[in-house]
Amino acid sequence: FKAAVLIQQWYRRYMARLEMRRRCTWRIFQSIEYACEQDQIKLHNFFSYLMDQFTPSSSKERDFISRMFVSGESYKEAELEKYCDYESIEVPDSYTGPRLSFPLLPDHATALLEAFKQKQYLHARYVLQLLHETRKHLKQLPNISHVSTCYSEEVTVCGVSLVTSACSLLFQNGLPSPSKSYVFNGDFVDRGKQSLEILIILFTFLLIYPKEVHLNRGNHEDHMVNLRYAFRVGLNTMLRVHGKKILRMFQNVFCWLPLATLIDQKVLVIHGGISDTTDLDMLEKIQRDKFISVLRMKKRKELSRKPELRALNGESKSETDAAGNEAAARLSLQPQSAQAPSTANRLEFSRWIRQTVQEQIDTCRRLVDISESEPEELTYSSMVSLKDADEPCWTRQEEWKQVLDILWSDPMPQEGCRENKVRGGGCYFGPDVTEKFLEKYNLQFLIRSHECKQEGYEFCHNRKVLTIFSASNYYEIGSNRGAYVKLGPDLVPHFVQYQANKTAHTLTMTQRISRVEESAFRALREKLFAHTSALISAFKAYDGDNTGKITLSNWATAVESVLRLGLPWRMLRPQLVRRTEDGMLEYKSWLDDLAMEQRSQERIQSSLLEVIYRNKSNLETIFRIIDKDHSGLISFEEFQQTWKLFSSHMNIELTDDGINDLVRSIDFNKDGNIDFNEFLEAFRLVKQCPS
């Protein structure tokens, strides 16, 4: 008997340790993921701030600025027709991939699934034609789709999905049919390398079964998010040639996706969540195609409105000028203009460019963060009402908030509704908000996605909110299962879980957790290394005697103050800090170990590599913004116009000849264009210049 008890105690302790490791690993992945989403919003706000301070001097500059940064404008019908001239694209005889003819038939969908399994691609002509037909269909749909189980035996709701998970799901559950309806709940272009294939499959089924397949918009069906997460249509040579056309069509198709689906008038399916101001009546009436991106900066405050709008509101020029001068003094970034050094001295010029740009970007980011912050005690709804009370275009602002909330919000266990500062968009809503919303619209429960769950699904708010996530192995092989939910006429949810990767089936629980844990800590070490300089400053604040050592408690506090990931650093410490002496950490040696680990992968000096790790995602996003046709190349003209934007805002006297010298020096292979490697290499070389 004693032996059995001991074995039972040992087993329970062992399982408890495994569960603790799993939860810590999960927390790491989610914190890093949400930090990336928040960075994207801050970067977009930074560019919006630049736009407020920049006055184009010519029609060419105005066109350039509009093309690069104005993401909230709908395209004109004639312009879209020009981008969708698929009939002018010839399919060569050498093309061996799948071919489409319209109207589509079930055989076409089967052929596409098989072709994508074989790593084949769909020709650009067929992609454009598919997008054209999909857009025509979506424009006829309401903002909230309605599905009834009276006409089908069951409705299957799927969350975020990758191409392997989508194939597994369709294989297990069966293809759409009159007796089997599907609702795909957004984020079709989430992170997988085969986002294009996912969209092609879903759009094909949508056109074949228009009454049985329903697509909701997710927060990743957004122009600005696509730039961050590298949704690029140039997956092969054929698509790269027509990348600009295809991307524009995708952007417009995304904004025509319905915002929600209502099943039997009792179950609401939305991608993110709700807030205490969510209004289904308003959501049904808004013009959803206006919102190509919901990550645009909030409506400008009173001081930053255009003069003609202020005049319409009856404000005098003297009043606005005085207010504007006060704001300018408060937001002044560089009081005196900086004279650029001669471009003849390349080293000095590079050092000056690096220092000036970095200082101004950091200042702009801080200003943006400050301007967007709100007092903690304000509720989410009161915060919005206070900000919008004096806006003449409050209706547009309120519509934008409705869309933002349902795409970006997350549930929380606490009561109330507050701003979602972790993601940087939407809100957190509590069980009381859910209860009031369900009662108001006579609903039974909500189905959402937007968050990865280890088992593929999770209930909260007294089983009134169901999160469904269909992408298995989202973070790493073995990290999570995928799941979908089936609803019959009784609306009782039935779950099906699956694991799309064969390797994950062969791993034991311990092996699976160890593999995922290793991947999570590798990502976390990269994050720590990317902030080496800031960490040294934080550690020195606790090392008053300059001993080079700090306590482990101070180490944990300092790391959190720099990374702000909200992680339990004391629990993670054994995996991150291997060597200590009497409870003290030699922080310089620890940082050297991190640098050695990263240098083993890339042979670059550690201080430079730190900067590249910290800025690479932002550099990629900036590169894609400048790269208007998404060809993977920046023309000299695009680069020159971008530098004019920066230099004008920063009061830098940089001549056209100076900009031309700079762009020619970055074009290392002298082909007249700048690719991302040259863009990154230029950044690397500038940072290598001795200070």
Residues annotated as part of the active site: 220
Range 337-364 burial, b when 16+ CB lie within 10 A, else e: ebebeebeeeeebbbbbbebbeebbeeb
Helix (H, G, I), strand (E, B) or coil at 635: strand
Q: Is residue 183 classed as helix, strand or coil in its secondary structure?
A: strand
Integer Cα distance of 53 and 48 in angstroms: 9
Instruction: List the beta strands (DSSP E) in 23-153.
Output: 144-147
Contact 177, 209 (CB under 8 A): yes
C-alpha distances out from residue 24 to 32, 42, 515, Å = 12, 27, 13
The tally of CA atoms less than 13 A away on the side-chain side of residue 293 is: 20
Helix (H) or strand (E) holding 410: strand 410-411
- What tokens were used for 105? 């038939």
Contact 233, 630 (CB under 8 A): yes
632 with 234: CB under 8 angstroms? yes
Burial classification of residue 289, based on how many CB atoms lie within 10 Å of its CB (0-12 exposed, 13-18 middle, 19 or more buried): middle
**Helix and strand numbers, DSSP H then E, in the chain:** 27, 20
Q: Give every CB contact of residue 96 below 8 A, 6+ residues apart in sequence.
A: 120
The residue among 156, 175, 233, 248 whose CA lies nearest residue 200 is 233
Q: Please list, residue by residue across 230-261, b when 16 or more beta carbons sit within 10 angstroms of its beta carbon and e when fewer do.
A: ebbbbeeebbbebbbbbbbbbbbbbbbbbbbb
For the chain, the straight-line distance linking the first and the last C-alpha, in angstroms and rounded, comes to: 72
* Residue 476 region by backbone torsions, left for phi larger than 0, else alpha for psi between -120 and 50, else beta: beta
Alpha-carbon distance of 173 to 169, in angstroms, equals 6
SS (H, E, C) 471-539: CCCCCCCCCCCEEEEEECCCCCEEEEEECCCHHHHHCCHHHHHHHHHHHHHHHHHHHHHCCHHHHHHHH
Q: What does the alpha-carbon distance between residue 170 and residue 68 come to, in Å, rounded to a whole number?
A: 39
**What Rg, from alpha-carbon coordinates, does the chain have?**
27
Q: Is the distance from CB of 38 to CB of 422 less than 8 angstroms?
A: yes
- CA-CA distance, 496 to 505, in Å (whole number)? 16
